[in-house]
Structure 1
Amino acid sequence: MKTRAYQLCALLAVAIMAFVLLRYGLSPGSLLLALLLAACPWGVIWLSYRLTRQAESEIDAAIAASKQQRQGNQPGKGV
């Protein structure tokens, strides 16, 4: 659900950026606003990438902890 919200935010920002540039032309203020709105999709991409990496590292840590717990619960062989 969050992924769709991020994508919708990025799409909306690009649409507003295009509207501002078409409506007001290439004035310094409209260029500044367009650049600010263009930063939103890049922020969405960066945020999605960071959250994906964080989730992957948390999954890897949970798997490692689970493996250690399983090895600790098994009885010793031949002792």
Structure 2
Amino acid sequence: MKQLAYGMCAVIAVAVAIGMFYFYGFSLLTLVLALVLFSCPVVVWMTLRLAKRSEEEIASGMRKGHERRNT
């Protein structure tokens, strides 16, 4: 459920950035705001990727620990 919410946040951020260019045109301020909004999906993607990797490493470590105790 969290991943869906993060994805929707990223889609909304991109839509707002594109709409900003459409309604207000190109200026330095709209460019800066658009860059901030476009960075949101990238940050979300990187955070989710690192979280998945961390969870996999923790699970792997737990499995190895249980295997060592049982042998």
The TM-score with structure 2 as length reference comes to 0.95
Identity of aligned residues (%): 31
Aligned to 2:9: 9
Distance apart, 1:39 and its partner CA: 0.2
* 1:5 to partner: Cα distance: 1.1
**Structure 2, gaps ≥5 residues long:** none
Structural RMSD (CA): 0.6
Unaligned runs of 5+ in 1: 72-79
Query: Which protein has the larger Cα radius of gyration, Structure 1 or Structure 2?
Result: 1
Q: Name the structure with the higher helix share.
A: 2
User: Using the alignment, how far apart are the partners of 1:21 and 1:62 within structure 2?
Assistant: 49
Give the TM-score, by structure 1 length.
Answer: 0.86
Determine the C-alpha separation between the residues in 2 that align with 1:54 and 1:15.
31
> Aligned partners of 1:27, 1:38: CA distance in 2, in Å?
16
Higher relative contact order (CA 8 A, sep 6+): 2
Letter in 2 for 1:66: H
Give the equivalent residue in structure 1 for 2:34.
34
Give distance in 1, aligned partners of 2:62 and 2:5.
28
